């Protein structure tokens, strides 16, 4: 085993060293006290606690921070007394000891001047803290177990031994060099770019192989030529000389090419290996164990459980898993909320648990695992689970959906409402719940770091939150595709699957195009439509589709080409540009060309705009428009599905392209986002009636020339006048469906379909 060099503290000030020691020793004190609460006479934990108190006391004395020295001195006395069996630290004692550690922790982020002046304004807190600790040492419990004659000696020896062991451990650690997080991030970005650049030699090597093949063919051609003119060479020495010279040059070229190819292959292997090693080393320096992000969770669970009168055990698994420091910092708040939420909403009171056949102590398990190149964090409790009836009533009460719609929602769809902003099932506000700030923030933070959160809950058994996260934010595994002759990247974590279909498999219903796979209808949209680019008019035997989804919607995105999977080094977009619609970041490909990384949540929202209810956008990717005229487009707005169907069938039969909207508001949103030759609208509709829709269209500078026809059951003269005064170009009654009047009116306004 190689001996590691001694720790180099030359870059640290004495104050920084003291703060670092306070942070580490405070964490040991908290963890040890929580463990001691479960096993009050655990000698191992008492030894750790005594060492930590002793180390803090010595460090505080060295930098002359008297308040910390005073508190740590009495802390050490408490642990020494417990070690010597003079007293047993009970639950109330642990509360006092933890409060004292909290005072010590407050010093960690103070400047040197703040530490030195702290006692001036906090003398009462210092006195009460020290007195509370002294009360533990001098409590009546000390009379239960008399101190033996040599009782203090073992602890003194342990203290001396611990000091030497600490020195020994310090000697075995790596040297430390301070570097800012920003510089480390830039270094990581450069190493990632170098890793990508190193792959450039591979296609160059491939082209060299092709050159070698062509050179071999040239040599073979010269040999064939020599054989074919062998009879001439006997009589012409000049021909023979030229042939021999060509053969020599070809052989020299072959030798030079082989030598250079061997050099390139060796360079490629060395370059690839070294850049990969460099990248792994840089990445490893940005990683921290999962344990670093969950240090305070056991203390938090203990405090909240006492506050709520519940009994809760926290089990954390996968502490050794490495996580990007930025990911770790980002997920601390979401995990904190999920755990607090589990205690407050999920875990039952001891009596309730016993009555339902459960142990009186509830259990929360936090697990970190690696799965398919991602980090998975699972927060699971064995509490009461979600009461779906209560959740449904809360959804209806808040006016989010009507009762009849809520009754049709699945349990998974109901759970999605928990992630809405300011949503809470609590009517009363407590310190922990009811403020409506929670799961929406959890999802938002996860989306910021390209992660996902899923929830499952079984009433009476518990709730499980699964977080899917990238192990590092600097590299994203992605599916590279081509859309409208440009490359784009879908983060693999957001790709449901990739498939190819024949154009004959594409069906159309209610104006939508879809395919049926795995027993489900999958709506289709062209990627070029989402990005507002010209569609590919080329006919394809097989159509590539990338299936993506958000929390409730799943769509098939038609792309021009599937390029393949890539590991992309993420390049943040310049903040001065602002948020780019449907895009989250950029990356550089092996050939030096840039590509854009798709923001899938934003992308799906854009798809929802295109395929909204019954707007009926066609997947223009499949349509061969080279030899076809574009039909005129009509927007039909009516809240009756029957009327919509009749009008659509009549118009489509006569060659018009029809888009449907379910009410005035839907029609207004649709007419502003797409181009139409005519709008046909009903009058009486929810959210916005037809008269208001007509008025909005005619007042809009860009839309006021668009013809609008009202088709209504109302046929009184005042109804017609009201419609025409609003700006309608035509007013018909719905009885016109039974003759050619409606079609004639359409032709009169915009002409034939083609």
Which CATH number fits the domain that encloses residue 155? Answer: 1.20.120.160
Numbers of helices and strands, H then E, in the chain: 25, 23
Q: Is residue 628 part of a domain?
A: no
Q: Is residue 241 part of a domain?
A: yes
Inter-residue long-range contacts of 389-393, CB under 8 Å, 24+ positions, other chains counted: 390/425, 391/415, 391/417, 391/418, 391/425
Q: Is residue 32 part of a domain?
A: yes
Digit-coded pLDDT (tens) for 101-138? 999 999 998 998 999 999 999 999 999 999 999 999 88
Predicted local distance difference test score (pLDDT) of residue 141: 56
Pairing of strands 512-517, 520-526: antiparallel
Q: Is residue 678 part of a domain?
A: yes
Q: Is residue 627 part of a domain?
A: no
For residue 384, the domain's CATH number is 3.30.565.10
Q: Which of 567, 593, 622 is the last residue of a domain?
A: 622
Q: Is residue 2 part of a domain?
A: no
* Alpha-helix residue ranges (DSSP H) falling in 86-147: 91-105, 112-121, 123-137
For residue 614, the domain's CATH number is 2.40.50.180
* Spatial contact of 473 and 445, defined as CB atoms under 8 Å apart: no
Cα gap 278→23, rounded to integer Å: 31
Predicted local distance difference test score (pLDDT) of residue 743: 87
Q: Which of 238, 260, 285 is the last residue of a domain?
A: 285
Q: Is residue 8 part of a domain?
A: no
Q: Residues 300, 275: one domain?
A: no
Q: Is residue 388 part of a domain?
A: yes
Q: Residues 616, 684: one domain?
A: no
Q: Residues 188, 161: one domain?
A: no
Predicted local distance difference test score (pLDDT) of residue 697: 92
Q: Residues 518, 541: one domain?
A: yes
Q: Residues 592, 480: one domain?
A: yes
Counting Cα atoms < 13 Å in the Cβ hemisphere of 734 gives 15
* Nearest to 243, CA basis, from 265, 228, 254, 264: 228
pLDDT, averaged in runs of 10, over the chain (754 residues): 41 80 89 89 90 89 90 92 89 91 91 91 92 85 42 37 38 53 69 68 69 78 78 71 79 78 76 74 81 89 92 93 88 91 92 94 94 86 93 89 86 88 64 56 85 91 92 84 92 90 79 79 88 72 87 86 86 79 85 86 86 51 44 89 84 89 89 90 88 91 89 83 89 70 87 81
Q: Residues 197, 58: one domain?
A: no
- CB-based burial label for 578 (10 Å; 0-12, 13-18, 19+): exposed
Q: Does the model's pTM come out above 0.75?
A: no
Digit-coded pLDDT (tens) for 678-700? 999 999 888 889 999 999 999 88
- C-alpha distances out from residue 316 to 94, 225, 378, 752, Å: 22, 78, 10, 70
Q: Residues 162, 108: one domain?
A: yes
Q: Residues 223, 140: one domain?
A: no
Q: Which of 451, 469, 487 is the last residue of a domain?
A: 469
What domain range is 240 assigned to?
183-285
* Spatial contact of 728 and 683, defined as CB atoms under 8 Å apart: no
Structurally, how many domains does the chain consist of? Answer: 5
Q: Residues 264, 246: one domain?
A: yes
Predicted local distance difference test score (pLDDT) of residue 739: 59
Predicted local distance difference test score (pLDDT) of residue 174: 52
Q: Residues 389, 464: one domain?
A: yes
For residue 733, the domain's CATH number is 3.40.50.2300
Q: Residues 443, 309: one domain?
A: yes
Q: Residues 41, 94: one domain?
A: yes
Predicted local distance difference test score (pLDDT) of residue 735: 65
């Amino acid at each position: 085993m190689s001996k590691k060099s001694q720790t180099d503290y030359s870059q640290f000030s004495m104050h920084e060293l003291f703060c670092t020691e306070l942070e580490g020793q405070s964490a040991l004190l908290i963890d040890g006290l929580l463990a001691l609460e479960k096993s009050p006479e655990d000698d191992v934990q008492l030894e750790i606690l005594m060492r930590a108190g002793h180390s803090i006391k010595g460090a505080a004395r060295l930098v002359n921070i008297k308040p910390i020295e005073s508190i740590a001195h009495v802390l050490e006395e408490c642990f020494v007394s417990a070690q010597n069996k003079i007293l047993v630290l009970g639950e109330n004692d642990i509360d006092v000891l933890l409060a004292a550690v909290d005072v010590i922790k407050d010093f960690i982020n103070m400047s040197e001047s703040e530490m030195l002046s702290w006692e001036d304004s906090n003398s009462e807190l210092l006195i009460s803290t020290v007195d509370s600790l002294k009360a533990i040492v001098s409590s009546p419990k000390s009379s239960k177990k008399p101190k033996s004659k040599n009782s203090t000696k073992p602890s003194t020896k342990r203290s001396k031994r611990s000091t030497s062991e600490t020195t020994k451990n310090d000697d075995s650690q790596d040297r430390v060099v301070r570097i800012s997080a920003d510089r480390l991030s830039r270094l990581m970005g450069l190493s990632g770019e170098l890793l990508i650049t190193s792959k450039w030699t591979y296609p160059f090597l491939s082209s060299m192989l092709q050159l070698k093949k062509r050179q071999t063919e040239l040599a073979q051609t010269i040999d064939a030529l020599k054989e074919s003119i062998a009879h001439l060479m006997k009589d012409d020495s000049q021909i023979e000389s030229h042939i021999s010279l060509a053969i020599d040059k070809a052989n020299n070229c072959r030798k030079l090419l082989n030598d250079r190819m061997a050099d390139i292959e060796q360079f490629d292997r060395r370059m690839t290996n070294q850049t990969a090693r460099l990248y792994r080393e840089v990445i490893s320096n940005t990683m921290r164990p999962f344990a670093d992000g969950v240090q305070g969770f056991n203390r938090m669970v203990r405090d909240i459980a006492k506050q709520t009168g519940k009994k809760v055990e926290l089990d954390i698994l996968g502490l050794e898993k490495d996580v990007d420091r930025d990911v770790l910092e980002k997920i601390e708040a979401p995990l904190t909320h999920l755990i607090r939420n589990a205690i407050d909403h999920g875990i039952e009171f001891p009596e309730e648990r016993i009555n339902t056949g459960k142990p009186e102590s509830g259990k929360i398990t936090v697990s970190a695992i690696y799965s398919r190149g991602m980090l998975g964090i699972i927060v699971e409790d064995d509490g009461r689970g979600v009461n779906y009836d209560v959740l449904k009533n809360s959804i209806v009460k808040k006016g989010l959906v009507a009762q009849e719609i809520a009754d049709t929602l699945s349990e998974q769809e109901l759970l999605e409402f928990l992630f809405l902003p300011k949503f809470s099932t609590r009517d009363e506000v407590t310190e922990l719940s009811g403020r409506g700030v929670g799961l929406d923030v959890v999802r938002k933070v996860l989306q910021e770091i390209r992660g996902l959160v899923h929830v499952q809950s079984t009433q009476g058994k518990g709730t499980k939150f699964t977080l899917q996260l990238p192990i590092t934010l600097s590299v994203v595994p992605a599916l590279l595709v081509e859309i409208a002759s440009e490359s784009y990247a879908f983060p693999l974590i957001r790709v449901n699957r990739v498939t190819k279909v024949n154009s004959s498999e594409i069906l159309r219903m209610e104006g939508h195009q879809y395919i049926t796979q795995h027993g489900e209808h999958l709506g289709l949209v062209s990627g070029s439509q989402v990005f507002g680019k010209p569609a590919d008019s080329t006919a394809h035997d097989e159509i590539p589709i990338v299936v993506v989804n958000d929390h409730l919607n799943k769509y098939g995105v038609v792309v021009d080409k599937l390029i393949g999977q890539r590991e992309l080094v993420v390049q943040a977009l310049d903040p001065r540009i602002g948020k780019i619609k449907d895009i989250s970041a950029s990356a550089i490909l092996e050939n030096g060309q840039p590509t854009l990384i798709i923001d899938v949540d934003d992308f799906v929202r854009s798809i929802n705009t295109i395929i909204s209810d019954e707007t009926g956008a066609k997947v223009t990717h499949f349509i061969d428009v080279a030899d076809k005229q574009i039909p005129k487009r009509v927007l039909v707005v009516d809240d009756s599905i029957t009327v919509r169907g009749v009008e659509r069938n009549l118009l489509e039969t006569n060659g018009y392209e029809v888009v449907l909207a379910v009410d005035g508001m839907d029609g207004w949103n649709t007419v502003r986002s797409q181009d139409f030759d005519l709008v046909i609208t009903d009058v009486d509709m929810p959210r916005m009636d037809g008269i208001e829709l007509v008025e909005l269209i005619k007042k809009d500078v860009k839309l006021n020339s668009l013809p609008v026809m009202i088709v209504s059951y109302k046929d009184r003269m005042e109804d017609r006048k009201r419609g025409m005064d609003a700006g309608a170009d035509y007013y018909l009654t719905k009885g016109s469906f039974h003759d050619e009047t409606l079609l004639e009116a359409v032709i009169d306004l915009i002409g034939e379909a083609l």
